[in-house]
Each structure stands twice: as structure tokens, then as C-alpha cells.
Structure 1
Amino acid sequence: MMTLSASLDIIPRMGSAVIEHCRVTRGHVDKDIAGFNKDMAALAESSRGLRSRGITFSCISWLPPEILTTVFTYIVEEDTLKSHTDTSRPCAAPISMIITHVCRHWRQIALESPTLWASLNCVSANWLDIMFERSKKAALVVIYRSPSSLRKCFQQIFSQLPRIKFLQLCSYPWEVNRILDCLSSQPAPSLQTFKFSVARKFYTRVIRPISDAIFQGRAPLLRSVELTECTFSWTSCIFSRLRTLDVRRIGSTSYPTLSQLLSALRRMPELEQLTLGLSSRISEDIEFSDQVPLTQLKGIALDACTLRNAVSLFSCLAFPVNVKIALNLAPIGSCLSDLFSAMYKDPDGPGPIIRSMRASLSYHTFGVQFGTSMAFKSEYFWDPRDDDILLSIQFKCSSSTRKPPIIFDMCQMVPHRQIQSLFVTSSLCLRDNFWRVGSTDLPELESIQLSGTCDIRSLVAVLQSGGTQSSDLAYPSLHVLELENIDFGCGEAEELQDIIIMRAGHGVGIDELRLVKCRNLVDDRVQLLKEVVTDVDWDGHEEGLVGGDGSGGGCLCHICRDESSSGEDYMQALLHSDYDYDPDSDTYSED
């Protein structure tokens, strides 16, 4: 029989053997893991080598280094100047740094191209020293649209101020003074463009104007300045050689008097583009006997401007007749004629021909544009940069300007008009009077493009009206009709067909008809139109159709909606359709 002492002696010896066995086994496992990691590292290195060799032998690597450098430069410039993000990309790596990690060949070319490292688009502070070193002596492009990214590195950036040619910054209000002090610490001999904005939504406080001390008063190449939520001292000479001046949302404490504004502009004889936000009334402190000549001016835009300020400024400026004018006005009143008189001081003199007009009508805002071409290329209604548009006026609607025919009043004030194309986008129900006034004021109109309005009853009625002679018909020169996003009423396609036949009999037929996204329109009705119109372009869009079994929700046209709606609903629609509607009078009065 085994004793207790003997049994106790067995257990320790067995435990020691197990522990020793585990130790040996673990050693083998560690060796296997180490070998595996070594093999994986070798495989990764081999893969990198093969990938590098593959890129080296690819077609793009056969290109000469100077062509690759051009491609890389385009990529960097596009990222810098066209990016609209407010923060840097993930890991804050500049795009030039990403290029160097593709292959050894690309890395060598990128490192030998200082201009690739000269574009700083919201670059993290961790990369700035590397960018400065690799850019060598190349002129810098610095863009920081985010105040949070700028506040971490603006001292590093401003240490390179003499090398910067393009500087765009956005600052928190409480850091403006520090930034202006840094900008005043050195001259900026290479600076050509300076853009500075203040993020006022975070904090409200008085922002001090930019003085002559900025750049130590030495920025001889500076030609473009854009300021938002801040301004400069209007008596300053630092910005006296500008070609572009854009100052918007001027603080009340920095608002110039008319004499200060004109004195500043007088010091800019080479000015080509002027954009000002003049929401508060300019103090007309003195009378000017002569006008400020801006002989090189190509465009002037007044944003969030009162009508009185616009009249005051235009009355004191002399500029070429082909200047593009863009106005975003507060509600306008009875002095509309004063505005056009101030803008066009010699309406009978030479000038470009106005051939097209576009109108945008909504419940709160009206907009009118006049262009020299037959079409409008711009996607935006108020765009000072559009080369074909000579005049854009957008304004809030007041009680005296709510009648849509006001746009034709403007048309009569524009000199050198031979308007042949009319583009109308409206969320309102345009009444007969609108189209009758248009027919009277635009006798040479050849094309109408109507979009967005809920129906075309009034246009159809006016096209049908007239006497027995072609000259008595509305729009006697009309031969192109484009309808987009329109609700066709029941029977209106047939009625339009009859009108086209009638007009054709008088020699004023419609030659081209374009239908885009028109509702309650089916192939059978379009075929009727194709029988009388030479060129019908229909996108095949079908919506809001009448189902024979009552399915599909029924007809969506205005007639069926009116019949199914209550009287109260109809009156609400009527009240919102055309502003100050007077059932006894459909005339427009500016007063």
C-alpha cells in the first residue's frame, strides 16, 4: 500500500515535468512565430519591389520627368485651388507627400520639384517644416479656409511671409488682432492675392480695420484683395494698386462715407473688378463735382446693397459701357429709373447689344438678367463672372414691386436692347397681363422658354388673342417655344395645337417646340403637336396621368385640382399665386 508521503512526492515530480514540457513547446512556437514574421516581412518587401518595378515598367513611367512634373503640378494645384473642404485630408498628409509614396521613380521626381511642395492647402502643422524645406525658394500658395486649422500653425506660416504669393485665411474673431500683428511683422514682396475672412458666427465683437501697417506697408505686387466680415482703413494707401477689390459684410463701425469710398477708388486707377457689400446707408458727406474714372473696370457687383447706395455710387463713377453689373438689392421702390440713369449716363451712345433676358420670379425675390447672347450659360442667377451677362438685378419684393410686369419696366430702361430670347422661371401663376406687357415691350421676341410655373393658361390665352392680321397677334416674331416642368391642363395640348395652326395661317407659326418634364402629357397628345410643328423635342416624361380605372391618383392638372379642392383651398392658392391681386384691376403701378 502506498503511503501518504509517497503520494505527495509523486505530484511535485509530475508538475515539474509538465512545466518543463510547456517551456520547451513554447520555445518552438516562438521560433515558428519569429520565422513566420520574418517570412511575411520578406514577402511584403518583395511585393513592394514587384509593385515598384511594375510601376516603373508601366506606360506612365516612360514619360520624361518634365512631363511627369507637369502632371504632378496640375494635381497639386487642382487640389489647392479648387478644393472647398474646410479641413485637411485624413492623416493631414499633403497630396505631394502621397505622390512620393507611389514608387521610387515618382518620389525622386517629386523631391526634385520644389513647386510641388509650395502649395499649402490646410496643411497640418506637423508637415509645414518639411514643406518649407522641400519647396526651397519657390513662391508659396497658402490656403486655410478653416479657423481651427489656422490657429495651430499661423506663426509657422507667417515666418515665410516674404515667400508667399497667394494667401487665403479664415480666422476666429478673437484671433484677428494677433494675426494682423503677425502680418505686420514682415514685408510681403511676393504677395499678389490676399483673401481674409472672419468667422463671425462664433462670436460678435468689433474687428479692427486693416491699416497701412500690414505687410509693413510693402506689398508692391499685391493686385487682388478679398475681405469678408472685416475691412481696411479707407484712407489707407496699402491697397492703392489693386485690380480686384472684394469687400463684403462690412461692420457698422468700419462703414465708409461716400467721400472715403470714392477716395479709395480714386487711388485704384487699374481696378478691373469691384465687389462691395453696402447694406447700410452710405453717408453722403460732400458733393462731388467730378466723377471717379475707372477706365479699366470690367465688372462691378454690389451685394446686399440698398437702392439708394447703388444710385449714389453709380452717380459718382465713370466706367466703360461694356462693364458687367451685378446687383443684389434690398426691396426697391419708386426710384428705379434713377438707378438706370446713374448706371447708363449716355444711353444713346455706343454699347453692346442686349439680345436676351431671363427672369426668375418667386414669392420673396425677383431677378432679372440681360445678356448679349441668345442663351444663358450660367447655372446661377446672380453670377458677376458670367461673360455674356451684362446686367443682373436681384431684389427682395416689397409691397410696391410685387407685380411681375416690373421686369418689363426694367427692360424698357436698358439701352441697346434687341431682345429676341426670353427665359422665365416662376413659382407664381403668371396672369394674362404679364404676357401682354411682354408682347408689347418685346416686339422682336423669337423664343420663349418657360419653366417651373404650375400652368400655361395665361400664355396660351395671350398667344391666341389678336386680330385678323399677323401684326395684331401677340409675339408676332415668335417661332420657338420651350416648356419645362409645366402642368398641362386637360385639353391644353389640343388647344395649343389649335393656336399653332391659327398662327401658322397668319404666317407666324411655331417652328420648334421643346417639352421637358411636363406633367399630364402623353404620347397621343404630343403626336397632335407633331402634326403642326416641324421640330418637336419631347423627353417622354409622363406623370400625373388620368387612369381609366381611377388608379394613379387621377389627373394632377390645375383644372382637376381646382374642381376637387374646396373654395378655401382655392382662395389660398390664389392669394399665394400673384401677390397683391386686385380682381378689378390687373394693371401694375410702381406706387
Structure 2
Amino acid sequence: MMVFTSIDIIPRGGTTLVEQCRTDIDKDIAALFASLSALRSRRNALASIFSLPPEVLVNIFIYFVEEGNFKIYTGIPRRGGAPILMIVTHVCRHWRQVALECPSLWTFIDIDCLSAPWVPIMLERSKKAALVVIYNEPSSPEYWPLVQLLSQLPRIKVLKLCTFSIVVDLILDCLSSEPAPLLQIFNYKVLGNHDPRISVRPISDSIFQGRAPLLRSVELAECAFILTSHVFSGLQTLDLRQIGPSPHLTLSQLHSALKRMPDLELLTLFLSSRISEDTELFDQVPLTRLRRIVLNGCAIRTAVSLFSHLVLPVDASIALCLTEIESPQSFSDLFSAIHKDPDRSFPIIRSLHAKFTDDTVSVQFSTSLAYIRNRDIVRLSIQFEYASDSAIIFGMCRMVPHHKIQKLYISTSLDLSQDFWRAGFAHLPELESVNLRRTSIAGFILALMPVGVSMACPLLRALDIYDTDIGCDELRDLREIARMRAKGDVCIQKLGLMDCRNVTEGNVQLLERVIAYVEWDGHEDVLMNSHGGCICPTCLDSDDSEDSSADAHSED
């Protein structure tokens, strides 16, 4: 046997020498890795993305962050507990450096999405930039991150809070500790404010130490508030919501607060029906810039008291959700309070949109003839509970000043009677177009039937029917009515049938002989049962009558 010796072969017993060799090799490997990393960095630096100036990268990062924050605003959850910008900082060293050197990228602090340890990091990286602070879903009583954030009140521009009532005093102490010179939007909602054992301190003049010169939007829900401070004098948007049994607010206090807000444009009041209507006298409150007012959850007499002391622009949009409708005459009082000067030039109301359920009526008066998709064209919207007679909406039309209703939209699953439609034709003499959705047309057709030589609704020129089950005889009757109206020179010029059941191509061809323009979507869905019998409304009514007659004969 031959034994070869070499300097590369280490004897088994040389433990110290082996460890030294391993250490030297590890150093060589680390040096190679460092060299390789440097070469990769130099190679990456030649990529076209690195030719972009840092300010361009910042704009890209801002767009990325704003898109992520928008998703948070719209309720799309985000996991991880870290700010969304961390994705950018993990791309490469250059991007990380650019992101860390831009404070405005770290100003959106949503405590609902961030874990608590990130709060001081965000405050440090944002430096002195204006902050957006959101805390809307308190899941635990640990409020220390919020208290830490509120210590930065002088540089917060948007503040949206939601806390439990037990910490209201703590939050108000923080909000009153310093001025808020940059604050523009302030929202505060209190949860669990229905326990009579907990006394909730009101928001008062001491908030922000009375200094928030840029404050333009305030939303308060279930808070006790006193809004007489000059800190609220520049508001353009005010949203007050009181749903629970406390706190109490009087109309004079509300008017006194509104009087100090001459620039108000959007006003939303969710007030319980038990709001105190005190007898204190107060002057008229001019809101000359108001574009929209929403009043929800109060009695109609409260609405009358409120509007009787407000002076609104003639084109202001009004939305009301009322309770305790005493009588139809109440609407006359309401409209008189809204339109105190009948000689002023108000926009003309041209369309009425109405929706019905078993116990609720919702009506919208619009200056446009188009289907309502933009609430700005709705000059007056009223929702109320009234189960006795749905035709009350036509009585309301008589009381609305400056109306010339030419188009009527009705949406309901209820069967509206012939009397309902006759009342509508009588109260709307200038009606030119009717749009029906999801409702039986039987009563409508009966009301259109001529009585003697007179034609009902003589200006009617267009009829649109959507998503409706049509009886076998109803299209035939409608065709006959159209033929008679054409003879009387009050013809129906347009008929629309969209997503309706029991309409066939043959029906449409017959209608086209007497109506100039029939718009049909080609949807054929004949209503038949498993035995081939028709189950349209007309046939079902006929079957019920025959069954009743048969039962009567069997009893005889």
C-alpha cells in the first residue's frame, strides 16, 4: 500500500487547524457574495427604470399609495398590519431610499389596518408632513396608539374617529390639548352611547383650543355637542346624527349653531322624532350657499319648525325621511315653510318618481325629465310611512309650488288600482310620459279606457313598462286604447316593453299597427304552468273567479 501526502489533506487530529481553514473559507465565500452583490447592483443600475428622476418615482409611489388607501376607504380589507408602501421599499435599495426620503408617503395612518408598533415608525418617517388619521373600528380598549397620534394634532389634516363611550372624556381631553391649524375634516362617532349610567361629555368650545381655521367638514354621530364656537364658523359640510335616547338637542340650539355657519353647502341631520321644539324665539337663518339638505328620522312637525326659520337658495336640493305623518294637510304646511316666498323664481318641477311598499311611500320631485341617477337634480325627495292611500302622492303634487309634471315614474310590487290612476290623471293634467316598473298594469289600462267621448290623460304620448308580468288580455286592451286615442288625435306615439313576461313577437307586431314606435328587447318569456296553462295575472284572476263560481254552485 502506498501512502500519498499532500498539503491539501488535513490529518484527522488537527481540530484547530480544521476550524481555521473553515473560517478562512467562509471569509472567502462572504467576499465573493459581496462582490456578486456589488456586480448585481451595478448591473441593475443600468436598467431603464433607474434613469427616472427621484421626483418621478415619488409620483408613481404616491399614485400607488393613494390607490391602496382608496381601497381601504371603500371597505376592501388589507392584511399584514404594515403600511402599503412597504411593498415598494422591498423592491430594491434605490426604491427604498427614495421612499424613505419622502415624508408625504408615510402620512396615511389607518389604525384599523396598521399594527400598533407601526404607529411610531410612521410618525418618524412622515417627519413634519400633514397627517391623515383614521380609527373607525375599535376592536379592543387599547387606545394608546390613538392617544399617541392625537399628540400630533397640530399636523393632522384629516381625523376620523370611532370610539366607545367609556373613553370619550379621554379623547376630548386629547382633542382639547392643542390647536389644529391644519385640520380640514373631522369625524367622530361614539359607540355604546345608550347606557344611562354613562355620562358623555359634550364637544364644546374648548375643542382644538378654539383654533382650527381650515376646518370645513364635521360629522358627529351619537355625540353630545355644542356647536356655538367660532371654530365651526367656516364649515361647508355638517353631518349630525342622533339616534339613541341621548343627548338632547333643541331646535333653537340647532338654529343658533347654523347661524354661525354662513358658508354651509351640505347639511345632513339625522334627528330623532323627540327633538325638543322649544319656544325660544330666534331670527331667520340665511344659508345662502346651501346646495343640499338631508333631514332624516324626525316628525313632519319638526321639519316644519326647522324650515320655517331657514332661508334657503331657490335651487337647493332637499331630502326628507319623515315619521308621524299626521294628515295630508301636513305636507301643505311643510311646503309653505320651505317656500316662504311664492313670488321667487323657483326651478320648475317636471317629473315625479314614486316607490311604494306595503307601508312606505318614497317620492322624488325633479327638475329633469330623465331617470334619476344624479341626486343633484332631485329638488325635493320625501320618504314617509303612510298605509291608508298611496294616491296621497298626487295630492302632494297640488301643494308643491312651481310644478309642471310631465313625466311620472312608478316602481312597486303592489297592484295599483284604477282609482289610483284616475286620481293621478286628474291631478297631473300635463302628464306626457309614464314609466312603470315591476307593477301590474291592469289598473292603469282600466283608467285609460275612454269614458264617453273624453280621453283620460289627453297629453300622454309615451309609455314604458319594465320587468312586469303582463296578462294575456292587457296588451290587446292596450292596443285597442291606442287605436281609439289615435282616432281622437291624442295618440300614444311610443311604447317600451323591457324585460316583460308574456310578450311575444306577434303581440309586438299588432301593437306596431297602432303605435308609431314600439321598443321591445325581444325578451320572450311566456308564463305557463307544467300543464300548459297560462299563469299570467289575467288568467289567474279568471281561474280564481271560476273556482269561486264552482264553489257557489256546489254549495247550491
1:356 aligns with 351
1:27 aligns with none
Counterpart pick for 2:371 among 376, 396, 412:
376
2:211 counterpart of 1:222:
no
Decide whether aligned partners of structure 1 residues 304 and 326 sit closer, same or farther in structure 2, where only a CA change above 3 A counts. Answer: same
Amino acid corresponding to residue 493 of structure 1 in structure 2: L
CA distance in 1, matches of 2:518, 2:102: 56
Q: Contact between 1:273 and 1:300, CA under 8 Å: does it hold in 2? A: yes
Equivalent runs, 1:215-364 vs 2, <5 Å: 215-249=208-242, 251-288=244-281, 290-334=283-327, 335-364=330-359
CA distance in 1, matches of 2:509, 2:152: 70
Q: Contact between 2:331 and 2:399, CA under 8 Å: does it hold in 1? A: no
2:119 aligns with 128
Where 2:434 maps in the other structure, the secondary structure is strand
1:20 aligns with none
Decide whether aligned partners of structure 1 residues 285 and 67 sit closer, same or farther in structure 2, where only a CA change above 3 A counts. Answer: same
CA distance in 2, matches of 1:568, 1:165: 72
CA distance in 2, matches of 1:96, 1:193: 24
- Between 1 and 2, higher relative CO (CA 8 Å, sep ≥ 6) is seen in 1
CA distance in 2, matches of 1:487, 1:132: 62
Percent sequence identity over aligned pairs: 51
Q: Deviation string for 1:540-580 (max 9, x for gaps)?
A: 33335337x825xx4332223334459999xxxxxxxxxxx
Q: Deviation string for 1:352-392 (max 9, x for gaps)?
A: 121111001111210110111111343xxxxxx82111111
Range with bigger deviation, 272-281 or 218-227: 272-281
Where 1:531 maps in the other structure, the secondary structure is coil
CA distance in 2, matches of 1:438, 1:350: 26
CA distance in 1, matches of 2:413, 2:514: 30
1:460 aligns with 445
Cα shift at 1:67: 5.2
CA distance in 2, matches of 1:476, 1:66: 67
Cα shift at 1:478: 1.9
Q: Contact between 1:521 and 1:545, CA under 8 Å: does it hold in 2? A: no
Cα shift at 1:314: 0.7
Where 1:90 maps in the other structure, the secondary structure is coil
CA distance in 2, matches of 1:413, 1:368: 14
Gaps of 5+ in 1: 1-30, 379-384, 570-591
2:90 aligns with 101
Gaps of 5+ in 2: 1-21, 549-556
2:192 counterpart of 1:200:
yes
CA distance in 2, matches of 1:428, 1:112: 63
CA distance in 1, matches of 2:512, 2:256: 63
Amino acid corresponding to residue 103 of structure 2 in structure 1: P
CA distance in 1, matches of 2:424, 2:148: 61
Where 1:153 maps in the other structure, the secondary structure is helix
CA distance in 1, matches of 2:256, 2:464: 49
Cα shift at 1:175: 2.1
1:19 aligns with none
CA distance in 1, matches of 2:186, 2:463: 47
Where 2:539 maps in the other structure, the secondary structure is helix
CA distance in 1, matches of 2:515, 2:220: 54
1:411 aligns with 397
Decide whether aligned partners of structure 1 residues 264 and 550 sit closer, same or farther in structure 2, where only a CA change above 3 A counts. Answer: same
Q: Contact between 2:193 and 2:244, CA under 8 Å: does it hold in 1? A: no
Decide whether aligned partners of structure 1 residues 361 and 397 sit closer, same or farther in structure 2, where only a CA change above 3 A counts. Answer: same
Q: Contact between 1:362 and 1:428, CA under 8 Å: does it hold in 2? A: yes
Q: Contact between 2:193 and 2:222, CA under 8 Å: does it hold in 1? A: no
Decide whether aligned partners of structure 1 residues 310 and 62 sit closer, same or farther in structure 2, where only a CA change above 3 A counts. Answer: farther
TM-score (norm 1): 0.78
2:461 aligns with 479
Range with bigger deviation, 232-241 or 360-369: 232-241
2:432 aligns with 446
Equivalent runs, 1:29-178 vs 2, <5 Å: 57=48, 66=55, 69-81=58-70, 83-84=72-73, 89-103=78-92, 106-121=95-110, 122=112, 123-148=114-139, 151=143, 153-178=145-170
Q: Deviation string for 1:159-199 (max 9, x for gaps)?
A: 22111111111112222222222222222111011011122
Q: Deviation string for 1:207-262 (max 9, x for gaps)?
A: 32112222222212112110111131254444233221111125544222222221
Counterpart pick for 2:182 among 181, 186, 190:
190
Where 1:284 maps in the other structure, the secondary structure is coil
CA distance in 2, matches of 1:473, 1:62: 78
Q: Contact between 2:496 and 2:519, CA under 8 Å: does it hold in 1? A: yes
Where 1:125 maps in the other structure, the secondary structure is coil
CA RMSD, Structure 1 to Structure 2 (Å): 3.4
